[in-house]
A and B are shown apart, each in its own frame.
Chain A
Amino acid sequence: MSIIIETNHLTKFYGKSRGIIDVSFNVEEGEIFGFIGPNGAGKSTTIRLFLSLIYPTSGNASIFGKDCIQYGPEIRQEIGYLPSEVFYYEGMKVIDLLKYSASFYRKDCTQRILELSDLMELDLKRRIDDLSYGNKKKVGIVQGLLHQPKLIILDEPTAGLDPLMQQKFFNLIKQENERGATIFFSSHILGEVQRLCNRVAIIKEGSIIDVQDIKTLQKNNYKKIRITSAHMDEKQFAIPGVSNLQRSDGSIHFFYKGDINTITHLLSSGKISDLAVEDLTLEEIFMHYYE
């Protein structure tokens, strides 16, 4: 397994305002790597640094083992990028734009253009100006994938696509991944990240707060516990490892992280009428990170 993306203390300030601060992580070959965070956390900034659309204030990033700035044109030969907002040259037809896009790559992409637009049900003869937002997005998908890149960078790709198209798009991404492409998938929608990704990095206010396996993230972390009891007071549960402790409608809710025996001990000390222990959904984990 070789490393496809490597970032070292990557930092970007726009004047005085924060872009990202000291971001370091690696993406390995063949991964579908999720990058999650709310709007303004620095997801797009990170991606724009990968593509040298912007230059870092300090630190560096390399792709395929080559520095993003020094070898920019060379590494972009093997990158497919789908921006979150797609706008294209006025007055151009879909096919003209795709051909223009293909003309930058060394290989012949005609066949792949036809396959992809067929799959995404994209009409090649229409003018891009006349397309709906969702259809423009499809143009973006096709232009990002037509050269069969080794690294696909997706920046909130599903906005504007209907559920059926989203499904097709995810299948397409999975196929590209099976073919050997590495996927860097930035999103604020956890469901889709959960569905697709092997690993995720969570970014908050410009800093990476965690990089985890999707499964580990969900499993060995927090438990969500709900107790219904007439005799117990929520103050009894104020022990280390418990968070979000609250009482409502006669039941006590909290999140717990730590030795599970400690909590079972505590539970058996009183009389309870109902008990539920669940894993947190990714949403809840996510919200927890952002509190």
Chain B
Amino acid sequence: MNIFMHEFKQKIRSVLVWSVSIALLILVFLSLFQSFASQANMVSELMASFPRELLVAFGMADMDWSNILGFFALLFVFCQICLAIQAANYGFSLISIEESEWTADFLLSKPVSRTRIISAKFLAALAALTITNAVVWAVSFPLIKLFDAGQVYQWKPVVALLSSVIIFQLFFLTVGMFISLLVKRVRSVTPFSMGLVFGLYILNAFGDMMGEKSLEVLSPFKHFAPSYIVNHAAWDFPLMLISVGIILVSLVGSYVLYQKRNISSAI
């Protein structure tokens, strides 16, 4: 419990910054909706003038922008990128920060097992991510209501989309943690998390564009594509299972690797 509290406290400020930023992103995007909706024809014409491949790559095809939920699905892609970077940052730094700042010697010379350390750290990061998740839930409903331009729609697609966030976060948290334990040392977290997030994003974008199915099955941006979830008011279940599988493998792999890890010394 002491490690959990310590880790959680270390993350409070970061959680606040991320949560507020993502809430603002949703606010700013949704506030633009009314002008889009009122000029729906012009927007459709504009979109039609772009090559279809480009729209597909950015997840903008098959989307009715003049519909509030279609618009929300579009903005949620950006929301997902932010959530992914936050989760990946926490994942990559979870264990590695102790080694890059040499605090591992302090922590591991205390009477605790490594299993307890990694569990406490993982749960603290998950708790931190859940706060951001809760903020996304809390702002989405009232803001959609506020900017819906009087349209009629159902909440079910929104609930389906928001429910996917926790698994989406877990994906980047666990994969980040696993990779950080596979490499010898993570000197700086940002290049790793940016690489993972944008790598998987681009994998999905290119996969869509080329109609290449084999690549995109690895990307959670495909597994939880907002356009699919909103259009179907449900998850793409088989694809989601791939995410869950990768999460489980990463989690088990992390425990095993951390148990065997040699902690390099400061000198």
**Residues of A that sit less than 8 Å from B by CB:** 14, 39, 44-45, 48, 51-55, 72-77, 79, 81, 83-85, 87-91, 100-101, 103-105, 143
Stretch with Cβ within 8 A of A (4 or more), from B105-113, B135-143, B144-152, B222-230: B105-113
Q: Which of B104, B109, B116 contacts A81 (CB 8 A)?
A: B109
Q: Report the nearest B residue to A91, measured CB to CB.
A: B10
A140–B59 Cα distance when bound, in Å, is 53
- Bits for B246-267, please: 1 = Cβ < 8 Å to A, else 0: 0000000000000010110111
A265–B19 Cα distance when bound, in Å, is 89
Whether the Cβ atoms of B108 and A53 lie closer than 8 Å is yes
Q: Which of A51, A54, A79, A85 contacts B266 (CB 8 A)?
A: A85
CB contact under 8 A between A73 and B111, given known A53-B105, A83-B105, A100-B6: yes
CB contact under 8 A between A105 and B111, given known A48-B265, A90-B101: yes
Q: Which of B2, B6, B110, B262 contacts A14 (CB 8 A)?
A: B262
**Residues of B that sit less than 8 Å from A by CB:** 2, 6, 10, 101-106, 108-113, 116, 260, 262-263, 265-267
Chain A residues with Cβ under 8 A from B106's Cβ? 83, 88, 101, 143
Chain A residues with Cβ under 8 A from B116's Cβ? 73
CB contact under 8 A between A83 and B113, given known A51-B108, A89-B10: no
Question: From DSSP, what is the main secondary structure of chain B's interface residues?
Answer: loop
Q: Which of A45, A51, A87 contacts B109 (CB 8 A)?
A: A51
Whether the Cβ atoms of A76 and B110 lie closer than 8 Å is yes
A280–B260 Cα distance when bound, in Å, is 45
A57–B104 Cα distance when bound, in Å, is 21
Whether the Cβ atoms of A72 and B266 lie closer than 8 Å is no
Instruction: State the Cβ distance, B257 to closest chain A Cβ, in Å.
Output: 13
Chain B residues with Cβ under 8 A from A104's Cβ? 2, 110-112
A52–B116 Cα distance when bound, in Å, is 15
Q: Which of A55, A81, A89 contacts B103 (CB 8 A)?
A: A89
Instruction: State the Cβ distance, A160 to closest chain B Cβ, in Å.
Output: 13
A220–B61 Cα distance when bound, in Å, is 89
CB contact under 8 A between A85 and B111, given known A90-B101, A103-B2: no
Whether the Cβ atoms of A48 and B113 lie closer than 8 Å is no
A39–B262 Cα distance when bound, in Å, is 20
Whether the Cβ atoms of A76 and B111 lie closer than 8 Å is yes
Q: Which of B2, B112, B263 contacts A73 (CB 8 A)?
A: B112
- Would you give 9 A-B contacts (Cβ < 8 Å), ordered by A? A53-B262, A54-B262, A72-B113, A73-B111, A77-B111, A79-B109, A81-B109, A91-B10, A100-B2
A8–B28 Cα distance when bound, in Å, is 66
Chain A residues with Cβ under 8 A from B260's Cβ? 55
Whether the Cβ atoms of A85 and B102 lie closer than 8 Å is yes
Instruction: State the Cβ distance, A82 to closest chain B Cβ, in Å.
Output: 9
Chain A residues with Cβ under 8 A from B105's Cβ? 53, 81, 83
Given contacts A53-B105, A87-B103, A88-B106, 11 further A-B contacts (CB under 8 A): A39-B267, A44-B267, A45-B265, A53-B104, A53-B263, A72-B113, A75-B111, A81-B105, A83-B106, A83-B266, A104-B112
A74–B116 Cα distance when bound, in Å, is 13
A256–B2 Cα distance when bound, in Å, is 59
Chain A residues with Cβ under 8 A from B102's Cβ? 85, 87
